[in-house]
Structure 1
Amino acid sequence: MLRYLFPTHKKQWVGPVLGAGAAALLIGASVVVSGIVDLSAAKPHPEGWARFLHFTFERSTAFHADATPPADLDSPVRVAAGAGYYGQVCARCHGGPGFGQNPVVLSMHPRPQYLANDLKAARFTAPELFRIVKAGVKYSAMPSWPADRRDDEVWHLVAFLRALPTMSPDTFRKLAVVDPAAAVAPVPFGPPTTGTPYALRNDREPPVTSYRYATPTYGFSGYALGGDPVATCTRCHGAD
């Protein structure tokens, strides 16, 4: 009976395989063209699909991570320089010690992880962090590094990310939340706070420990448009 269901000669498989492939392609095309696929950012990915996407990201990162870290990667100078980059850009999405995450950011899918609790980045090696920071991640709103020939800046940020898990809110404020005119003076956000929780749609979406729904948070300020762009640049690059 089975020999009638399963051909014994390889050539006899060609027709059924091609037919099955064409049918699968037709079904897939029909689903896409119909528009029934819901790409709304208001709805989270199904948990299984989210795990698959993240696993794919982790494997891709590991495969392409081939950069060699500098010998002084964890030096205080590199950490301080990286803090400037993080406070200027990265904290808008990923928050920081003593800060929550912006509700606009947490309305994206996938959502940027909160990097100041147990720091998911701690699971990555230095070359893997370099790969993520420099190359970015497609379909996640994680941008690539804008200056292609400034690997030194990327390593500065990697150094900061490696130091972030044990960084206190006070140290974070002094290093990353600075006044453009004085790179050591913290911006007057008011007295330190443990954070005030806020509610948001899908705020119990797993894994809840990867995000922080609390204020104060970073906003999205257009420094270069509404302020002094030179002063903005000196926050990271210095005044001289």
Structure 2
Amino acid sequence: MRRLLMIVGAVLVLQAVGAFLFAWSGLYSVAASKDHWPPTTWFLEMAMRNSIETHAMFIDAPDLNDPALVQRGAGHYEDGCAPCHGAPDATRNPISRHMLPAPPYLPDTVKDWNPEQLYWITLHGIKYAGMPAWPAQRRDDEPWAVAAFLRRLDGMDAAEYRRLAFGEETMAADTRATMDELEGPIEETLRNCARCHGYDGAGHGTGAFPRLSGQKADYLYESLRAYASGARPSGFMQPMAAGLDEATMRALADHYARQTGAPHPPAPDESDPQTLELGAKLATAGDPQRGVPACSGCHGPNRDPRYPSLDGQHAGYIADQLRLWQKGARGDTPLSRIMAAAARDLTEEQIRAVSVHYARIRPQQTAGAP
């Protein structure tokens, strides 16, 4: 037995030395123009799939049937995923086909993965495969939106894809008048923003994207700067904002600040008087016992222009942001630190109540408030 173990050990050592010498010689081609040997391809694919399945095993997916969540993922897929993975209305970029391994055409292959695995791949990426990790690792909520969209991608036709990824490409006459003042790259950038936020900043009224219309230009400008620098983390917004110069940020902020006439979606259907009363109380007086200040102190009509208006904002968006502040995932700016302290002790009931309260208010209702 001892002799057998020595023989086995010697064989393993010789194999290791041989593998090292083979790699050191440079005889193995690493060129992307030449495919792996079939055994190597099988081994790498087996290792990748088993690794993903193991790491996604203990992940519990949230409800991914929310239409707003699906549309949010579609908005990112068109820019961040479709160039390599294709879309129902377009093939993959020819350059991506010459990567090794080539990115899969997801409309045909997404069914091979469950939602938890799609989420894990989107959040963490895959080493040495050209698949990057999510740009904002603290925003683990955003990859779920991509996973929600990918679940719908199997069998999706081109018309449905364009509706989800591009929204309604309509433009009011007054919006067209303001766009006529823009030229060149700024106009093209606004068209890109409008895919998610609309030309009027109403976000297509679905709740997938925050309302930008009527916000103060200073707030919108500072938000773009925070996204661009990563101070406000977002895998959706940072890639978009990082390439903008100061003049373009100012022009976009001014454009959306002027869109005060954008229509509001129907107010949330909330009939519980206790929820409505709690939301109004938090907005005007806060909760002194829990150390929660009144929201109107910063978000009222006479607010600092660097703070957003909450009147008429989508309830789901307000609630999501409050939860991000509680988790410490909303960013690290002076204003964010103030808000993180204010949201820290809110209960889930309070988050829902105050979100519904502001979503039911229309800006003109508070114009004369003190």
User: Normalising by structure 2, what TM-score?
Assistant: 0.46
Looking at structure 1, the residues matched to 78 and 46 of structure 2 have their Cα atoms a distance apart, in angstroms, of 28
Is the 1:61–1:128 contact (alpha carbons within 8 Å) kept by the matching residues of 2? yes
| Counterpart residue number, 2:194 | 182
Q: Which residue of 2 aligns with 1:166?
A: 155
Q: Given the alignment, which residue of 23, 41, 50 partners 2:32?
A: 41
Q: Structure 1 225/146 Cα, relative in aligned 2: closer, same or farther at 3 Å?
A: closer
By how many angstroms is 1:177 displaced? Answer: 4.1
Deviation at 1:174, TM superposition (A): 2.7
1:145 aligns with 2:157: no
Q: What residue number does 2:118 align with?
A: 129
Residue of structure 1 in register with 2:14 after alignment? 23
Give distance in 1, aligned partners of 2:71 and 2:59. 22
- 1:93-132 to structure 2, matched below 5 A, reads 93-116=84-107, 118=108, 120-132=109-121
The aligned counterpart of 2:68 is 77
The yes-or-no answer on 1:13 pairing with 2:4 is yes
Deviation at 1:226, TM superposition (A): 6.7
CA–CA distance in 2 between the matches of 1:166 and 1:97? 9
Residue number in structure 1 paired with 2:221: none
Q: Cα deviation per residue 1:130-183 (whole Å; 9 max; x = unaligned)?
A: 111111111100111121121210100000000011322122123224632423
Counterpart of 1:60 in structure 2 is 51
Q: What is the deviation of 1:42?
A: 0.5
Indicate the SS of the match to 2:243. Answer: helix
Instruction: Choose between structure 1 and 2 for higher RCO, CA contacts under 8 A separated by at least 6 residues.
Output: 1
Matched position secondary structure for 1:141? coil
Give the secondary-structure state (helix, strand or coil) at the position aligned to 1:26.
helix
1:157 aligned partner, one-letter code: V
* Structure 2: runs of 5 or more not aligned: 168-190, 200-238, 257-316, 318-370
AA paired with 2:192?
Answer: P
Whether contact under 8 Å (2:110, 2:153) holds in the other structure is no
The Cα shift of 1:224 comes to: 4.2
Which residue of structure 2 lines up, in the alignment, with residue 156 of structure 1? Answer: 145
DSSP-derived class of the 2:42 partner: helix
Give how far 1:125 is off: 1.3
Letter in 2 for 1:159: A
Aligned to 2:243: 225
Amino acid of the structure 2 residue aligned with 1:141: G
Amino acid at match of 1:164: L
What do you get for the CA RMSD once the two structures are aligned? 2.7
Distance 2:33 2:42 in 1: 18
Cα distance 1:99–1:131, how it changes in 2: closer, same or farther (>3 A)? same
Instruction: Name whichever structure is richer in strand by fraction.
Output: 1
User: Which structure dedicates a bigger proportion of its chain to helix?
Assistant: 2
Greater radius of gyration (CA): 2
Distance 2:143 2:64 in 1: 11
Question: C-alpha separation between the residues in 2 aligned to 1:157 and 1:106?
Answer: 22
Aligned equivalents of 1:223, 1:87: Cα separation in 2: 16
Task: Tell me the distance in 2 between the aligned counterparts of 1:14 and 1:55.
Answer: 30
Asked if 2 retains the 8 angstrom alpha-carbon contact of 1:67 and 1:130, the reply is no
User: How many matched pairs?
Assistant: 187
Distance 1:102 1:128 in 2: 24
Q: 3-state SS of the aligned residue for 1:183?
A: helix
- Within 1, Cα distance between the matches of 2:132 and 2:249? 21
Instruction: Report the TM-score when normalising by structure 1.
Output: 0.70
% identical equivalent positions: 33
Aligned to 1:87, which of 60, 63, 78? Answer: 78
Aligned equivalents of 2:165, 2:86: Cα separation in 1:
11
Unmatched segments (≥5 aa) in structure 1: 1-9, 187-220
